Amino acid sequence: MKTLFILFVVLAMLSGCQPAPKVSEFAVHYEQPRTLKPFVLEDQHGQQVTTEQLTGQWSLLFLGYTHCPDICPMTLAKLTNIAAKLESVQAVNVWFVAVDPQRDTQEKRKQYIDYFNPRFVAASAPHNVLFPFVRDIGLIYAINNSDELEYYVDHSASIALVNPKAQLEAIFKPEFKAGEVPVINAEQLIDDFKVIVSKYQ
């Protein structure tokens, strides 16, 4: 009788427990975040940006280029909205990593990012510096027909999340819908971000 009573109490306790929150299928959350390798990029003001600018705060990093016809402006508009909505929860630092250094000069990056949010960082560097950094944050890009004046740059539409220890914490993936440009779902990213921050030690 006593055994049955104990079992009943345990089952009652378990039934009242809520499962730990999980991220959605659009987020890859690393159980063991990876510390980023040292890097030196240049922002839109001509100042160096390094790992130091990623420490002490949460950061969202997105690849793009100023001649991008669709994914970049759409994603930056969403990131502007995301940063505003997260302000009261957990402020985030947003980096636009320009992967077309040939055309994306400091002045052009500043003009471009100021249109969306002048507080965002618009960083770039020569390819020999840029490519290893991009690979380190779990993303990728490639130049198409670089010998021509007009060309496209293939790049990840995902967004990297770096934690306050300058470690790659997660990757937020875009939605792929038939006939539509692959971009992130802002509300889903916010929900996943909150889950990740709640688990962060």
Is 45 labeled as ligand-binding?
Answer: no
In terms of CATH, what superfamily is 29-199? Answer: Glutaredoxin (3.40.30.10)
User: With 0-12 CB in 10 A as exposed, 13-18 as middle and 19+ as buried, what is 116?
Assistant: buried
Q: 0.85 cut: is pTM over it?
A: yes
**161: exposed, middle or buried (C-beta count within 10 Å: 0-12, 13-18, 19+)?**
buried
Residue 26 has pLDDT above 50, yes or no: yes
End-to-end CA distance of the chain: 43
**Average pLDDT for residues 25-32, to the nearest whole number?**
94
Q: Show Cβ contacts of residue 64 under 8 Å, excluding neighbours closer than 6 positions.
A: 71, 72, 75, 76, 96, 97, 98, 99, 155
Name the band, by pLDDT with cuts 50, 70 and 90, for residue 201: low
- Per-domain residue ranges of the chain: 29-199
Cα four-point dihedral sign 85, 49, 114, 138:
negative
Question: Is 72 assigned a ligand-binding role in the annotation?
Answer: yes
pLDDT classification of 5: cutoffs 50, 70, 90:
very low
Residue 2 has pLDDT above 70, yes or no: no
Strand bridging mode 48-50 / 40-42? antiparallel
Q: Which candidate, 29, 74, 62, places its Cα nearest to that of 182?
A: 74
- For the stretch 145-191, pLDDT in tens is 766 778 899 999 999 999 999 999 999 999 988 778 889 999 999 99
| Angle in degrees, CA 33, 183, 93, rounded to 5 | 45
